[in-house]
A and B are shown apart, each in its own frame.
Chain A
């Protein structure tokens, strides 16, 4: 099946630092999604990318759809305490039954050190 390699698995940073994470695959996709999951809550969509090379921002978050269509990047500038959580990349696809399904990366856990 499809597999998304997300890195790094975890990050320990100080408040104010910039953050970069990425997601790669051996397959080509037409859409890349980035979700964030706060402790005790479900994933929330941050950014959706629909075109190769696209660069999209949401506040301090910027995501890019890789030109090869096999990867995507998420950057967070000037991190703040509420950025703590797990960030997931995801790609839509079709299951063997023809249903739309999301494949998720393994996540990047972001921790801010006091």
Chain B
């Protein structure tokens, strides 16, 4: 139990569908992140939310839309995805502004685009 919970664990969707990934952290952290993990590639940072404000969009296509209603919850809204978007999407949280604090990860959502 890492304190970061992601749902669903697996998602299969067509390219025209709209779905959302959810992340919740129980660690009292003030920053949350979305990462994409594709086969044989390093984890890629997608978005950063710091104190509920989106502070970074790492050149992610607009078909991915993040939402952070409060410091404990983070969503990733998906629409008209492409086959190359199939990957493991990981959420993480950390306590910013306290030095190099490690990020804590959820177990991810395995996304498959048909």
Cα distance A92–B106 when bound, in Å?
A: 18
State the CA gap A16–B107 with chains docked (Å): 28
- Cα(A105)–Cα(B40), bound, Å: 11
Indicate the size class of the contact surface on chain A: 20 to 34
Question: What are the residues of chain B within 8 A of A92 when measuring CB–CB?
Answer: 100, 102
Q: Which residues of A contact B (CB under 8 A)?
A: 4, 30-31, 33, 35, 40-45, 48, 50, 88, 92, 95, 97-107
1/0 per residue, CB under 8 A from A, across B77-114: the answer is: 00000000000001010101000111111111010000
Q: List residues of B (33-74) whose CB comes within 8 Å of A's CBs.
A: 33, 40-43, 45, 48, 50, 55-56, 58
Contact of A100 among B2, B43, B90, B96 (CB under 8 A): B96
